């Protein structure tokens, strides 16, 4: 299973949205020809209609199928309603080649902190299995270089426990624009950087992931330099 994971496009009219980076990223993803593209939220900056329209038109250029969940920026200004209008459900399950891709909505209207909530956790419990890939916007575990840690899900403990209990091999998230990989028990937790946001000044990037039965290979790909940093994790 080959997955492209992109996050935090932050499409807007601001100079902080780097259109060239998004276009280059989509061209590079198309060259990789993944089975699926996972987009972990913050596709817009303010949750505005013009931003949703703009980013949807850009995402149409992706040649592989893609799945998308909202981030905190997408839920601003009632953006969570527009998100559903443009992209469909905010949380869902999609079966692809024997894997259940489970998208979670960790955003709350006009609040930056993430939460899964009891109702969604209960829903998750009915769908989760060892053949699942779970993806959401906010972090489940802290990652370095993000300043004072206040961006982990408020119910990260309950969510992690459920993922661990059901031996989920791979969890994908975004949010703080810092690419990182952790292994928590037998789960690989990979965080993508930002594709096209100037904010945080980090090197814009996306991930290419090979998911196998006993092994996960995550490559962090720099859009500008095309450098690839490879992490191989045995699960």
Which residues of the chain form contacts with Fe ion (CB under 5 A)?
Answer: 8, 42, 71-72, 175
Which of 42, 51 has the CB closer to Fe ion?
Answer: 42
Instruction: Pick between residue 82 and residue 175 the one whose CB is nearest to Fe ion.
Output: 175
Which of left, alpha, beta for 150 (phi over 0: left; psi -120 to 50: alpha)? alpha
| Number of alpha carbons in the 13 Å side-chain half-sphere of residue 51 | 23
Place of tokens 């092994």: 215
**Cα(130)–Cα(119) distance, integer angstroms:** 21
Task: Give the integer Cα–Cα distance in Å for 70 and 215.
Answer: 28
To the nearest whole angstrom, how small is the minimum distance from the Cβ of residue 49 to Fe ion?
19
Quote the least distance from Cβ 235 to Fe ion, whole Å.
27
Q: Which two tokens stand for residue 5?
A: 């994971």
Ramachandran angles phi, psi of 70, nearest 5° = -80, 155
10 Å CB burial of residue 152 (0-12, 13-18, 19+) is buried
Nearest to Fe ion of 187, 194 (CB atom): 194
Shortest Cβ 74–Fe ion spacing (Å): 9
User: Interior CA angle at 233 toward 4 and 26, to 5°?
Assistant: 10
Q: Which is nearer to Fe ion, 72 or 159 (CB)?
A: 72
| CB nearer Fe ion, residue 70 or residue 169 | 70
Residue with the shortest CB distance to Fe ion: 42
In the block, tokens 């575990």 appear at: 141
CB of 200 to Fe ion, least distance (A): 8
Say if residues 44 and 73 touch (Cβ distance below 8 Å): yes
CB of 73 to Fe ion, least distance (A): 6
Q: Which residue, 47 or 71, is less far from Fe ion as judged by CB?
A: 71
CB of 7 to Fe ion, least distance (A): 7
């Amino acid at each position: 299973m080959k997955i492209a994971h992109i996050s935090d496009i932050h499409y807007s009219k601001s100079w902080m949205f780097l259109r060239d980076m998004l276009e280059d990223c989509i061209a590079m993803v198309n060259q990789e020809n993944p089975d699926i593209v996972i987009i972990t939220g913050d596709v817009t900056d303010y949750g505005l209609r013009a931003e949703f329209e703009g980013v949807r038109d850009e995402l149409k250029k992706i040649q592989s199928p893609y799945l998308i969940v909202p981030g905190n920026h997408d839920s601003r200004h009632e953006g969570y309603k527009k998100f559903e209008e443009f992209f469909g459900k905010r949380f869902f399950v999609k079966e692809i080649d024997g894997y259940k891709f489970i998208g979670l909505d960790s955003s709350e209207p006009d609040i930056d902190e993430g939460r899964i909530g009891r109702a969604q956790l209960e829903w998750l419990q009915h769908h989760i299995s060892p053949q699942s890939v779970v993806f959401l916007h906010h972090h489940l575990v802290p990652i370095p270089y993000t300043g004072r840690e206040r961006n982990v899900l408020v119910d990260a403990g309950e969510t992690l426990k459920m993922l661990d209990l059901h031996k989920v091999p791979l969890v994908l998230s975004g949010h703080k624009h810092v690419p990182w990989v952790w292994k928590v028990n037998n789960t690989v937790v990979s965080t993508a950087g930002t594709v096209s946001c100037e904010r945080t000044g980090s090197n814009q990037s996306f991930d290419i992931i090979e998911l196998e039965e006993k092994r996960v290979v995550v490559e962090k790909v720099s859009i500008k330099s095309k450098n690839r940093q490879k992490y191989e994790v045995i699960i």
